[in-house]
């Protein structure tokens, strides 16, 4: 059974760095054919795509966050990470890690999600 679990919730001050990890169990993160992604949901708002790392190691980031975000995979630990620098109040959100899959017909979707980690940015 595939499970994803984000590391714990965080309280940060403006300008600090957000670091989250996502532990993957039930499947090897190096198994290929999947991507590993981060999303977030600010209070009362829609889910927002942060970025993606493909099994090739290629990353894709939301242009609105690209200058501040890094996603990386640690294959030895079956986990992947999110680093967001210079956080501000607008970065307050529930952060989700997900696995991206692709159907035989070529459709991409996110088939496994963590339960989310709350990140609060406040002075």
Regarding 54 and contact with other proteins (CB under 8 A), the answer is no
The distance of closest approach from Cβ of residue 13 to other proteins in the complex, given in angstroms and rounded to an integer, is 27
By CB under 8 A, what part of segment 62-121 binds other proteins? 62-64, 96, 103, 105, 107-116
Tokens of 20: 């989250």
Regarding 25 and contact with other proteins (CB under 8 A), the answer is no
Q: Are strands 117-121 and 10-12 parallel, antiparallel or unpaired?
A: parallel
Of 39, 27, 36, 29, the C-alpha closest to 59 is 36
The distance of closest approach from Cβ of residue 62 to other proteins in the complex, given in angstroms and rounded to an integer, is 4
Binding site for other proteins (CB under 8 A): 4, 45-49, 52, 60, 62-64, 96, 103, 105, 107-116
């Amino acid at each position: 059974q595939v499970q994803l679990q984000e590391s714990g919730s965080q309280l940060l001050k403006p300008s600090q760095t957000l670091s989250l990890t996502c532990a993957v169990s039930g499947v090897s993160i190096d198994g290929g054919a999947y991507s590993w992604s981060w999303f977030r949901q600010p209070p009362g708002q829609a889910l927002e795509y942060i970025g993606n790392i493909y099994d090739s190691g290629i990353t894709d980031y939301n242009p609105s966050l690209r200058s501040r975000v890094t996603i990386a995979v640690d294959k030895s630990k079956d986990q992947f990470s999110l680093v967001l620098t210079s956080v501000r109040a607008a970065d307050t959100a529930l952060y989700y890690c997900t696995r991206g899959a692709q159907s035989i017909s070529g459709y991409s979707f996110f088939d496994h999600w963590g339960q989310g980690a709350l990140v609060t940015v406040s002075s």
